Amino acid sequence: MPEVRLVGPNGEQVGIVSIGDALKLAQESDLDLVEVAATARPPVCKLMDYGKFKYESAMKAREARRNQAHTIIKEIKLRPKIDPHDYETKKGHVVRFLKAGDKVKVTIMFRGREQSRPELGFRLLQRLAEDVTELGFVESQPKQDGRNMIMVIGPHKKKAEAKAEKAAAKAQRASDSESESESVEPESAPAE
């Protein structure tokens, strides 16, 4: 008769028993007999509540997915002859994206005769990279792609770190606002 190595519901080793005895033990303890290592000799089986096991493993997988950070590539488009104020606005967007832990793809669009002066776009991308150097690094150097010049800037912080910092800052602001509301008490009128 085939045998299995049986593990109890709390992880204790029962030993090598026949399949019939293992099934009988499972019925007596109102649990399921689950094969956990089929390739072992003899196969390893465990007494457990299979429905509860499936539910808990699904919850763990769901929690892992929730905590997973997705890196998003944000895109900013510029022109070689950009106004200084517009440049500052676009740079502000790049800074915001990098602080959030996202990569930024910066595209410079050339029109007409601007295509004969790619060094203007290259200088603009270099300036932008220098302006945001404390938040990010140049992941791919500027390269010409038809009418466009593209550069990718990656953040120094990972998405998960940025998320954690943002949550900590939010909690700090909430506790600060609570302490301010507690410290402001209405003055009572003097008794006459």
Please name the residue that has the structure tokens 């808990």. 56
Domain span(s) for CATH 3.10.20.80 in the chain: 3-50
* 184 or 148, which is more confident: 148
pLDDT of residue 65: 82
How many Å apart are CA 4 and CA 35, to the nearest integer?
9
CB 98 within 8 A of CB 155: yes
Q: Which fold has domain 3-50?
A: Ubiquitin-like (UB roll) (3.10.20)
pLDDT of residue 152: 93
- The pLDDT confidence band at residue 12, using thresholds 50, 70 and 90, is confident
Mean pLDDT of 36-60: 89
- The pLDDT confidence band at residue 1, using thresholds 50, 70 and 90, is low
Mean pLDDT of 13-35: 88
How many Å apart are CA 192 and CA 183, to the nearest integer?
26
Strand 3-7 and strand 44-48: pairing? parallel
Mean pLDDT of 47-73: 85
- Flag the least confident range among 61-75, 95-109, 139-153: 61-75
- Flag the least confident range among 1-10, 64-73, 79-88: 64-73
Structure-block tokens of residue 64: 């892992």
Confidence check: pLDDT of 5 > 70: yes
Per 3-state DSSP, the chain is made up of helix, strand and coil in percentages (nearest 5) of 45, 30, 25
* Chain mean pLDDT for the chain: 85
Mean pLDDT of 170-190: 69
CA distances from 173 to 96, 97, 100, 159 (A): 19, 22, 18, 21
Q: Could you tell me the CATH superfamily of domain 73-155?
A: Translation initiation factor 3 (IF-3), C-terminal domain (3.30.110.10)
Confidence check: pLDDT of 20 > 80: yes
DSSP H helical segments within the chain, as ranges?
19-28, 50-67, 84-99, 118-131, 159-183
